[in-house]
Amino acid sequence: MTKQGPIYAGGIALLQGALLLSGCGGPDLSETNDATAVNVATDATPIPAGSQAPVAGPERLVLAFGDSLYAGYGLGRGDSLPDDLQDALRADGINARVVNAGISGDTSAAGRQRLAFTLDKLDRKPDLVLLGLGGNDLLRQIPPAETRANFVSMLDELKKRDIPVVLTGMMVPPNLGPDYAAQFNRIWPDLAKQYDATLDPFILAGVIGNRALMLPDGIHPNAQGVDRIVARLGPVVAGRLRG
C-alpha cells in the first residue's frame, strides 16, 4: 500500500476512523483463527532476542511478493520486511535469501499481471513464496469477487510450478460494513485451505493502531513495527522451509 491519490486518501480516512472507533485494536481475527479448518500460523514460537544459530545447509530462496508492506514504504535501507525476515531466518540458522518483490501501490490485479514474469526472472525456482497483496484492493474498495479471482489466478500459477505459499492476509475495518467484510475477509482462509497454503490471517495484527509501531500515515509499519511482524512471521516461514 502507498499513497495513490484521492481514492487511496479516502480509504486511509476510513481505515484510520475504524481503528479509532474500535479502540485502536484492529480488525477482529476470530473468524479466521480456526486451525482445524485451515493451516493458520498462530502457534509459532518467536526466536529469542539475541539468539544466533550457525547458518547451515543449502540456500533457501524465498520470494516476498506483495505491495508496499513488503516493499518497505517509508523505511530506511535494510529495514523492509523481506530484509528483516532474511536476518531472522539466518539468525535461526537457515541459509535464507529473501528477494523483495514488493511494489508500492500494487493491487491484486497488478500482482496477477506480474507474477509469472517475476518468477521467470529469478535465478531459480523459489523454495517458498510469501504472497501479500489485498491492502490496496481494500483501500480502493474493489469488489471482493475480483480480489478473490486475482488470488486464484496467482495461486494457480504457483501450484502449477509446485511452489509452496505463505499467505499474509488483509482484513476489513468494521466501518466498511458486514457484507463487504464477510466477503473480503474469507478470501484468505478459503484459499489457504483450497491450496494448502499457510495463513497468517492479518499481516498488521498487533501493529496497526499502535502509534509507536506505525508511520505517521497510520497504515504502514515503521522499523519497530516490521520487527514485531517478523517476530510472528519469521518462525512460520522457518517452519515451512524446514518442512
- Classified as helix, coil or strand, 136 is helix
For residue 28, what is its C-alpha cell? Answer: 477482529
Which of the residues 67, 68, 83, 227 is marked catalytic? 68
Which has the closest alpha carbon to 115: 133, 137, 127, 98? 133
Give yes or no: 220 in active site: yes
Strand 198-200: give its sheet, edge to edge.
Answer: 94-102, 56-66, 128-132, 165-168, 198-200
Give yes or no: 120 in active site: no
> Any idea of the CA torsion for 105, 130, 238, 226, to the nearest 10 degrees?
10
Element (H, E) at 227: helix 223-242
Element (H, E) at 19: helix 6-21
Which of the residues 84, 104, 220, 227 is marked catalytic? 220
Are 184 and 36 in contact by the 8 Å Cβ rule? The answer is no
Give yes or no: 217 in active site: yes
Are 59 and 23 in contact by the 8 Å Cβ rule? The answer is no
Which of the residues 34, 156, 196, 217 is marked catalytic? 217
| Catalytic machinery residues | 68, 217, 220
